[in-house]
């Protein structure tokens, strides 16, 4: 089966083409926060046609319900946009749309074979995905761990709230804080620089602590067997893992404090998850109307 998978992220749009489980092509382009939804649909359609795909899986940064984007902190133009309906109608093939962290969580579930797991994406934004009893918790606003309040009078978040996890450890929030501290370095440079700068070291430890609080609060809700971190910032987990594990262990019930926290190790987990979810769409007859 030929599947076109897309990841619509705050920084990049990615497209991957799978043919019988093999990745055969990959494309990446910069995304614009004020891009009209129609241009995004055109991008998806064009790539899908190029590949002659039979199904489409779309991973998107934002809350998704029945294929409609309820709210996307990174793309305000998308709020309320029925992306699945638009793509499905124009492409005429099976289409799924799911939140990006949920896609990644599903990929991790298929690969790590755990009944209950928590996936956290640490990138421009902070996302969460939950597998419970082998099911993906999906629909409405679900597993939005990035927008749990952990510091009531904390910094303003893109969602309008204050002190969300994302407003403290999201890539954009880290950049904002670095500037405020007078450092003109990227998030990627931060971790290396923290080896030789005590102030940055302290800052990185604080990020780790906040992550631990978020993971602990989420874990106390459903007792995951495995906690997986994905996204670009998770690649630097070694720099703050001690602070995360310490903060996590202090806050969870004893039974959970040895829960492994690992890096996903899955390349483009969102794309892989979107592809795996697209594969699960049941076949429908050609006469059936695409809603």
Least distance between Zn ion and beta carbon 125 (Å): 9
What is the Rg, in whole angstroms, of the alpha carbon atoms belonging to the chain? Answer: 19
Site string for Zn ion, 130-149 (x = CB under 5 A): -----------------x--
Closer by beta carbon to Zn ion, 117 or else 211: 211
- Only segment of 62-70, 131-139, 161-169, 242-250 that touches Zn ion (CB under 5 A): 161-169
Least distance between Zn ion and beta carbon 62 (Å): 12
C-alpha atoms less than 13 angstroms from C-alpha of 45 in its C-beta half-sphere: 16
Closer by beta carbon to Zn ion, 63 or else 271: 63
Closer by beta carbon to Zn ion, 151 or else 235: 151
Q: Rounded to the nearest 10 degrees, what angle do helices 269-279 and 100-112 cross at?
A: 80
Least distance between Zn ion and beta carbon 171 (Å): 14
Q: Pick one of 4, 69, 103, 157: the residue that binds Zn ion (CB under 5 A).
A: 157
Closer by beta carbon to Zn ion, 96 or else 233: 233
Least distance between Zn ion and beta carbon 36 (Å): 24
Closer by beta carbon to Zn ion, 3 or else 165: 165
Q: Pick one of 164, 190, 226, 227: the residue that binds Zn ion (CB under 5 A).
A: 164
Q: Tell me phi and psi for residue 213, to 5 degrees.
A: -65, -45
DSSP strand pairing (135-136 vs 126-132) = antiparallel
Considering only residues 178 through 237, tell me which ones interact with Zn ion, judged by CB under 5 A: none
d(CA 108, CA 126): 17
| Total of chain residues touching Zn ion, rule CB under 5 A | 5
The gap between the terminal CA atoms of the chain, to the nearest Å, is 22
- Is residue 275 part of the contact set for Zn ion (CB under 5 A)? no
- Is residue 159 part of the contact set for Zn ion (CB under 5 A)? yes
Closer by beta carbon to Zn ion, 141 or else 221: 141
Q: Pick one of 149, 161, 223, 263: the residue that binds Zn ion (CB under 5 A).
A: 161
Closer by beta carbon to Zn ion, 117 or else 157: 157
Closer by beta carbon to Zn ion, 84 or else 158: 158
- Only segment of 129-137, 155-163, 224-232, 258-266 that touches Zn ion (CB under 5 A): 155-163
Least distance between Zn ion and beta carbon 234 (Å): 19
- Is residue 94 part of the contact set for Zn ion (CB under 5 A)? no
Contact between residue 67 and residue 277 where contact means Cβ atoms under 8 Å apart: no
**Residue numbers of the site for Zn ion (CB under 5 A)?**
147, 157, 159, 161, 164
């Amino acid at each position: 089966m030929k599947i076109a998978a897309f990841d619509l992220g705050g920084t990049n749009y990615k497209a991957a083409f799978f043919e019988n489980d093999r990745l055969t092509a990959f494309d990446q382009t910069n995304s614009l926060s004020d891009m009209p939804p129609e241009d995004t649909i055109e991008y998806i359609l064009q790539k899908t046609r190029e590949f002659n795909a039979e199904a489409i899986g779309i991973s998107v940064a934002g809350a998704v319900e029945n294929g409609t984007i309820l709210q996307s902190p990174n793309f305000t133009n998308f709020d309320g946009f029925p992306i699945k309906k638009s793509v499905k109608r124009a492409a005429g093939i099976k289409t799924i749309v799911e939140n990006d962290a949920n896609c990644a969580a599903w990929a991790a579930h298929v690969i790590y074979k755990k009944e209950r797991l928590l996936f956290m994406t640490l990138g421009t934004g902070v996302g969460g995905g939950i597998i419970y009893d082998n099911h993906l918790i999906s629909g409405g606003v679900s597993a939005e761990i990035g927008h749990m309040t952990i510091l009531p009078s904390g910094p303003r978040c893109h969602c309008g709230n204050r002190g969300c996890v994302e407003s403290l450890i999201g890539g954009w929030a880290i950049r904002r804080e670095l500037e405020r501290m007078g450092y003109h370095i990227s998030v990627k440079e931060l971790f290396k620089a923290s080896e030789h700068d005590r102030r940055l070291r302290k800052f990185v430890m604080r990020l780790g602590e906040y992550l631990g609080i978020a993971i602990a609060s989420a874990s106390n809700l459903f007792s995951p067997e495995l906690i997986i971190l994905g996204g670009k910032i998770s690649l630097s987990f070694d720099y703050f893992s001690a602070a995360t594990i310490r903060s996590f262990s202090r806050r969870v019930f004893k039974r959970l404090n040895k829960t492994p926290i690992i890096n996903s190790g899955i390349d483009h987990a969102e794309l892989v998850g979107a592809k795996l979810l697209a594969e699960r769409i049941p076949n429908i007859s050609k006469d059936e109307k695409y809603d």
